[in-house]
Amino acid sequence: MVDYKNLEKQIQTLTKEENHYLPTLSNAVSLLMHALPGVNWIGVYLADDKGLFLGPFQGKPCLPRLPAGKGVCGVAMKKNDSVYVPNVHDHADYVSHDPTTDSEFVIPLRFNKKVIGVFIIDSPIINRFSVSDRDDLRRFVLAVERSADFSDLLKEDTVAPAAVTPPLKSHSMPFELWLYAIKGLAQTYEMVEPIYSQLSEQEKKALRDEYEKTD
pLDDT, one tens digit for every residue, the chain (215 residues): 899 999 999 999 999 999 999 999 999 999 999 999 999 999 999 998 888 999 999 999 999 998 877 889 988 998 899 999 999 999 888 888 889 999 999 999 999 888 999 999 999 999 999 999 999 999 999 999 999 999 887 754 445 555 555 555 554 555 556 555 555 544 444 555 555 666 677 777 776 766 566 54
Count of CB atoms situated within 10 Å of the CB of 14: 18
pTM over 0.75: no
In a domain, 159, yes or no: no
Contact of 155 with 187, CB cutoff 8 Å: no
Predicted local confidence at residue 127, as pLDDT:
97
Query: Rounded to an integer, what distance in angstroms lies between the CA atom of residue 165 and that of residue 59?
Result: 31
In a domain, 161, yes or no: no
Q: Which domain holds residue 52?
A: 4-153
Query: Rounded to an integer, what distance in angstroms lies between the CA atom of residue 183 and that of residue 63?
Result: 40
Interacting residues of 157 by C-beta distance below 8 A, sequence separation 6+: 49
Distance of CA 42 to the CA centre of its chain: 13
Distance of CA 126 to the CA centre of its chain: 20
Q: Are residues 203 and 127 in the same domain?
A: no
| CATH label of the domain that carries residue 108 | 3.30.450.40
- Listed in sequence order, the DSSP H helices in the chain are 4-14, 21-35, 71-79, 131-147, 175-183, 189-196, 201-214
Predicted local confidence at residue 157, as pLDDT:
47
Q: Which amino acid is at 72?
A: V
Question: Which residues share a beta bridge with 84?
Answer: 105
Number of domains in the chain: 2
Predicted local confidence at residue 49, as pLDDT:
85
Q: Are residues 98 and 204 in the same domain?
A: no
Q: Are residues 123 and 193 in the same domain?
A: no
Predicted local confidence at residue 95, as pLDDT:
86
Question: Which residues share a beta bridge with 20?
Answer: 149
Q: Are residues 118 and 209 in the same domain?
A: no
Q: Are residues 69 and 33 in the same domain?
A: yes
In a domain, 72, yes or no: yes
Q: Are residues 80 and 136 in the same domain?
A: yes
Q: Are residues 191 and 118 in the same domain?
A: no
Predicted local confidence at residue 14, as pLDDT:
96
Residue whose C-alpha is closest to residue 78's, from 168, 163, 169: 163
